[in-house]
Structure 1
Amino acid sequence: MVKFVSMKKTLSVVFDGHELADYLIVAPGFDRGIGSSRDINLQKLGERRGKEFLSVTNDESSISMPFSLVDNVLEKRRELARILDVDEPKKLVFGDEPDKYYLAIPSDDVPFSDSKYYGSGTITWLVPDAAAHSTVITPFPLKKNTDGIYEFEIDNEGSESVPITYRLKNTKDNGYVGIVSEYGAMQFGKIDELDGEDYKQNEKLISTRTFSSYPDFSGANPQDQNKLANGKLVQNSLGLALNTVGTGAVTFNGGMKMINIPADSEGNTSAKNFYCYFNSWFETGLQGQTGCINISFFTADNKLICSYIIEKIDASGNTARVMFQVGGGNQPVYKQIDFIPSFRDDQNPFNNSRGHTDLIKTGDTVEMYWWGKRFAASSPQIKDMECAKIGVYIGQYKNRNLGNQFVTRCYLRELNFSKMNVDKWRDVPNRYSPNTELVVNGDETRIYVDGVTALDDEVKGTQYFKAPPGKTKIQVYVSDFSELDLSACTAEIREAWI
């Protein structure tokens, strides 16, 4: 495309990026008018003089721009025709107001008379919104007011209400944005979206086959005062075993380990609901041998919650028993089952190849395992009791020796303890992750999330209100678990004048 530079300097007129002064000379002092035409609606009422005012609407404005062409008139006319042939309003900037632009479109035909060396005509620019717009976008920072609420203060120095574009960035997860002023409200996301959710999980707190590191307990066993713990337990290659019985005129003498429950993932060191697996080897080699293994569960102040007891007090034959005890020291045993502690699988579930046992406490109910079955018992007094310790007691009956009178295989080989229903909280991925940029574009009346249109985020009833001339306060709300980055948040307007 060839541009023709006029010999005579003229007012700069840039339309749709084209400098029209390269082709034409604008007549001096052309009239841009004041404001736009208005449609005034009046109503005649009865016989009274005059009319009643009802309303007024502003119509489009127009700018008549007379011009002339000098030299190469035919070529310049064709170039102008090409430039002016647009199908929608384009930016129009006059050189005497370079900081403003109109959105204009040429109206109808351009009347023009010409000769070979000179021509003249008039371009009528139609401005549908009847306003001149600033070429500069004015930003306003986000602050917190005295009530701790995020707030913009817009100062529109133009004469027209204009759209507002908001740029917001959150430093934490966020699910909701509300933008509110006296002129309307906008909402995006979900106001009731949560940052996380509560849930429960089971946590294994103890899993061991060696017991040397656990502290010894001495004195009367809180499970049964007739079982003294003045002896010593030791760890050997077969498991935890009784080494010395100690002394005392009671039913059993032996040793005891007291295992404190470790803290769960929330830092709590006791369990109201729990599961415990343990493996025992309890097998006689001679008739008349005696001994016991007790696995007991205590509160922090040594109150008994429940106990699983394997013992043999038959000093002449080969009958042993398991006993299940629930609730409080020296409470009656609610279940007792006799068995033969031999090496045979059909007689002894605690022989060398087996020994698997477990116990479950849920609320006020305890379930204890025995040979493929579970036996349950309930006691209101244990409902809220929390296990803080596990007592492992191995003893010998009365004052019998640890030689041929003691159960040949009397070991605890493994113990696992899990806390059930640990109260947990987990983060839920929110709609707007940290450092997400939200752009609420007032010109387009839509929201962008990290540059992508997010029409579904807009809540029904949202009003993209404008900033009128003067000062306007606008408050911004986010999820109560979120925060905005004040340094990265702005509200922007492009001022306009009639």
Structure 2
Amino acid sequence: MAFSVKFNDVDLSTIVDGFTAITRNIGAGWTNTVQPNPIIGADFTQNSINSKSITVNFIANVKLDRFTSVRKALASALNVKQPSALIFDDDPNQVWWAVPDGTPTLDESSFYQAVGSITFLVPSGVSESVETNILNASNSGGSLGTITNNSDGHVDVEINNTGNLEAFPTIEITNVHENGYIAIAGQNGAIEIGKRQEADGATSPMSENLYFSTSDTNFSYFKDVAPGTPNPQNNWLATNGKLEFQKDGLRLKEKGTVGSRQGVAGGMKVMTLPADSNGHVGAVNFYSYFNLFAWATAFGQTGVLQILFTDNNDKLVAGYGIIKGDMVGNKAMMKAWVGGNNPREVASRDFIANNGEGN
């Protein structure tokens, strides 16, 4: 049975003919920091774990074009831009997040067999468990730890960390009390969420999700606006064009035409947010996340992308957008607006509309 070394989901044993040595050593090494003691020696202040190197030696037997194919296949498998999973056959439950370091070798001086080596750098210096352990009521009291329910309502949780380093658990809690209060206390601090006291009979507001694009991947909830509907933020922007879902989002299919007092052609879609669980439409406090992708493929291209929220009368409440009016260069702007009794622009940030990310 061949020994397997997997890197970035590629089994390197399918490229080479065997591994002759793997140098992992013990741990990653430590750097200790001390400061001079005025009387004798030095005082220890702290230590840290270094990054780690792992070297894999391999052989490649001679076949027609064998050495060439090995060089090309290994070069492709090792070409990563960030640390990737490195897993060894004798320790399959541990993953090292590594990148190739230095120059991989392939000595072809022998006619019968080539030997080579690859060195990986593990920046963190440690491996991580592939598996996730779950402590719950069914396995409480076992090797993972203990959950104890107390008469006053609080719960004690003792987690056994079987690893060599600190670990940070993910805690899932289902609250059975109406006040929505949760407090988690540990050795190094505490966190509280919700209200400790709430008089019976009063309904406390709660957060609800009104719309997720993950359940509407082609944006079918968004409909074309009725003909003649003005842009709520700026009626200089025409809306009789067509937006259509294409592959990964809404894109401009037909730019439409502009009226006598308009300057930019385009389209607009609208969705009415659904009512909450109480049947109420319109929240006093809400937030919304959209991804706007604005990419000018040539200098001087212009365009407008907007996300706007309106009231029942299609009057602007608030919104934001990407504006590129630069007809020579590549400067664009993120802008935000509010409506109501005092419509105005409340934010403007410049960025370059290239293939980077403007936050």
User: TM-score w.r.t. structure 2 length?
Assistant: 0.48
Larger Cα-atom Rg: 1
**Relative contact order: is structure 1 or structure 2 higher (C-alpha 8 Å, sep ≥ 6)?**
1
Structure with greater strand share of residues: 1
* TM-score (ref. length: structure 1): 0.36
